[in-house]
Amino acid sequence: MDRIRLVGGNELNGELPISGAKNAALPLMIASLLTKDPLVLNNVPRLADVKQLERILENHGVDIAVQGRRRGDDEMQGQRITFTAHDIVDTCAPYELVSTMRASFWVIGPLLARMGEARVSMPGGCAIGTRPVDFYIDGLQQLGAEIEIDGGYVNAKAPGGRLKGGKVVLPRISVGATHVIMMAASLAEGTSVIENAAMEPEVTNLAECLIAMGAKIEGVGTRTLTIEGVDTLHGAEVDVIPDRIETGTYAMAVAMTGGNVLLKGANAEHLRAALDVLKETGAQVIEEEDGIRIVKNGSGIKSIDVDVSEYPGFPTDLQAQYMALMSRADGTTTIRETIFENRFMHVSELARLGAHIDVDGQAAEVTGVEHLKGAQVMATDLRASVSLVIAGLAAEGETIVNRIYHLDRGFERLEDKLSRCGAKIERVSG
């Protein structure tokens, strides 16, 4: 099994390209099920989760064509992929495919909307909380779906073959539920309203894609979405937005190691809350025409308390990385996780590097130390694994990060990008 080997102590300097957002690419890929026409996506990242979703879509009958690089393209540039679901040959998403990735459950929305039925396995994925699918099921039922759960599968049918417009009030903000209900409502008969919808940039990316395909959606970027269903959707060409979590991750790495790095292609508007916090810790955040420049030299890291919250607040997907940064801060920092109930699994691994962290329920108190020291550590989930990389970049000596298949799910060519900027990092096979 592959591992990451790091030798800490080097500043990061140079230019680091930001990939397309995994959390945007996955729902955009799933949206291809809504139309017979080709959906072309640009800037698709090369990730394990993307490949797994391709397999799932192919199982439903989607033809997938990946176009090669053009002369002059940067080797880090995202893929251009065409998805054509002319004929959906199977409305069942089986356990062996869905169990490895939660987002694959989202196919239930477009399958039900277009075909009038779907049979989808209950999802699997990272164990960072229960993340139940109740919101998805309740929302689809508000659109007229008849649903039963049997043998670990969700069986859904639309009476008469088509969903009906309805009002869906999400009891808690959910990005996944917003994705699913928005896609389903786009082909429903009549008008649907989603209250308490997620506002994340990835949701906006999907909404704008659906609009380009012919959907009628109002309120994009707000807590209330109004969708007037249409009979059919057509093809479109859409760009995957830059990955704000990758952006924040590398920004925190520079803030921790020191240096000067341009995060090329990053969008500061998608990450305003986290960048504002980073400035308070002592890093310079400079917005440039082609990205965001992070500069950190000289003084130490200032401790700043953070409460994780839904967008536009501080993202839960940057909580572990921020904890790594605060492990070297001057003073004590309180980090409150309000989204998922089990997202402090990285604490014990950061402690192996010398971090001082106390957890009390959903709050972690981080007391900064002068030095971290390299050690063998184990990744527990996607975001936790990269927090260990950040800490290892600043630690004295060698750090080995095991179980890095988590990293491959969400960070494209991480070791290549960091080594370009001066990090001593390599992938070790076996």
Cα–Cα distance measured from residue 256 to residue 247, given in angstroms and rounded to the nearest whole number: 14
Using alpha carbons, select from 131, 1, 114, 107 the residue that is nearest to residue 54. 107
In sequence order, which residues have a C-beta less than 8 Å from that of residue 150 and are 6 or more positions away?
none
Q: Is 403:1 a contact under the CB 8 Å cutoff? A: yes
Helix axes 22-30, 48-59, angle to 10 degrees: 10
Phi/psi of residue 240, nearest 5 degrees? -75, 130
Q: Could you tell me which residues are beta bridge partners of residue 217?
A: 227
| 357 appears as a binding residue in the annotation | no
In sequence order, which residues have a C-beta less than 8 Å from that of residue 347 and are 6 or more positions away?
323, 355, 357, 359, 364
CA 110 → CA 9, 141, 163, distances in Å? 49, 14, 11
| 23 appears as a binding residue in the annotation | yes
Q: Is 194:182 a contact under the CB 8 Å cutoff? A: yes
Query: Is 421 a catalytic site residue?
Result: no
| 339 appears as a binding residue in the annotation | yes
Q: Is 2:407 a contact under the CB 8 Å cutoff? A: no
Q: Which of 92, 126, 209, 421 is catalytic?
A: 126
Residues assigned a catalytic role: 126
Q: Which residues are known binding-site members for UDP-N-acetyl-alpha-D-glucosamine?
A: 102, 317, 339
Binding residues for phosphoenolpyruvate: 22-23
Would you list which residues are annotated within the binding site? 22-23, 102, 317, 339
